[in-house]
Amino acid sequence: MTVRHFSVDYKKANEHGTFSPGDTLSGQVTVVTSRKIKAQCLLVKAKGKAQVGWCERDGRATAVYSDKRKYFYLEHVILQDKNKGDGSEIIRRGRNVYPFTFVIPNTEMPSSYEGKWGKISYTLQARLTLSIWRVQKTKTEFPFVTKSEFPFASKSEMIIIGLQKEQSATKTSFFGSAKVTVSVTAEKMGVRQGEALEFSVQVLNDSAQSLAPILYLWEKQTFAAQSKRIVHTNDILFESADCVPPWSSQTITKALRIPAELPPTFFNCCMMKLEYRLKISIDVHLTGSLEVKLPVVILLSTPEPHKLIPKRSAWFGKLRR
């Protein structure tokens, strides 16, 4: 109980509370003690890394797949006992504050992200060593945002121009003698966080039953390790549209608002990527279902002042019309 408090904190670099390549990361390590102590070492580290990991069962055997990549590692030694006896390694009784400053490397790195089987994190960690048996650690994460507006594997002009072009897809399914055709058209493929994705759905119902289209924003997380891949998909947002009567056609126009806290599309991490689709699903009673998907690229918007990101479950639910 000699060390009563040990923490590491950082100062916001901007009003949004985020950091990017080339930014200065400043903060302080705070040590509160009940008496004067001698430290072997007190240091602080800043690092960025990506890591993935999952298990797969094959009969009785379980295979573990994992990988990690370090984007940067910075270290600053605050106190160190070098047997000088000059008192520089002494921590006085009470509250002691030690400032530090790092410059984040100005290289391309992905934004902070946490998915089903992987995480991209940027952290500060302080370590206080009093003896070989007495080591204390503390750490905190800081939000990191890439400077790239288009964090894609391919940065060709065709892909960037294509984000602003109209996108469409059509699918026809036969259920016995019945035929159902669904066409979906979006005004553009790229939409920013917090903006509305405007699209229209045309349903040609050549069947004897009413059909109720359900509109989804569909998420696809892909993770890779040791030449293996695993995919996690999720319906993030959904909304039911009006029923389409038998032997009729109907065009539905909607605007699906993208949550401001939803992570943007990215491909600039070698171990994971995040994609989205606009999905239209129609269940045909006792016969089958029809799905049409259209690519959606969610782009980074000007971030709001930093706040804790709610758990993903808070994003789910039916949207109000």
Residues 202 and 249 sit within 8 Å (Cβ to Cβ): yes
Nearest-angstrom CA–CA distance, 214 and 167: 19
Q: Quote the pLDDT of residue 80.
A: 86
Average pLDDT of the chain, as a whole number: 87
Identify the pLDDT of residue 153: 52
Determine the Cα–Cα distance for residues 274 and 113; give it in Å rounded to an integer. Answer: 10
Strands (E), the chain: 3-10, 24-33, 37-38, 41-58, 61-80, 90-91, 94-103, 113-114, 118-129, 135-141, 167-175, 178-186, 190-192, 196-206, 214-225, 228-240, 248-257, 266-269, 272-284, 288-299
Identify the three-state secondary structure at position 20: coil
* Residues 138, 259: Cα–Cα separation, whole Å: 33
The distance from CA 137 to its chain's CA centroid, rounded to whole angstroms, is: 26
pLDDT at 82: 72
DSSP 8-state secondary structure symbol assigned to residue 159:
H
User: CA–CA separation, 298 vs 289, rounded Å?
Assistant: 27
Contact assessment for residue 221 and residue 205, using Cβ atoms and an 8 Å cutoff: no
Domains with residue ranges and CATH for the chain: 3-141 (2.60.40.640), 157-315 (2.60.40.640)
pTM of the model: 0.84
Closest CA to 261 of 289, 228, 298, 225: 298
Cβ atoms of 121 and 65 within 8 Å: the answer is no
Q: What is the pLDDT of residue 305?
A: 45
Handedness of CA 125, 15, 310, 213 (dihedral sign): negative
Radius of gyration of the chain (CA): 26
Is residue 73 predicted with pLDDT exceeding 50?
Answer: yes
Mean of the pLDDT values across residues 170-176? 87
pLDDT over 70, % of the chain = 88
Instruction: Encode pLDDT of 179-228 as tens digits.
Output: 899 999 998 888 999 999 999 999 999 988 899 999 999 999 999 999 99
Above 90 in pLDDT, residue 47?
A: yes
> Which residue carries 């990690």 as its tokens?
68
Contact 217, 265 (CB under 8 A): no
Q: Can you say whether the dihedral through the CA atoms of 14, 20, 24, 30 is positive or negative?
A: positive
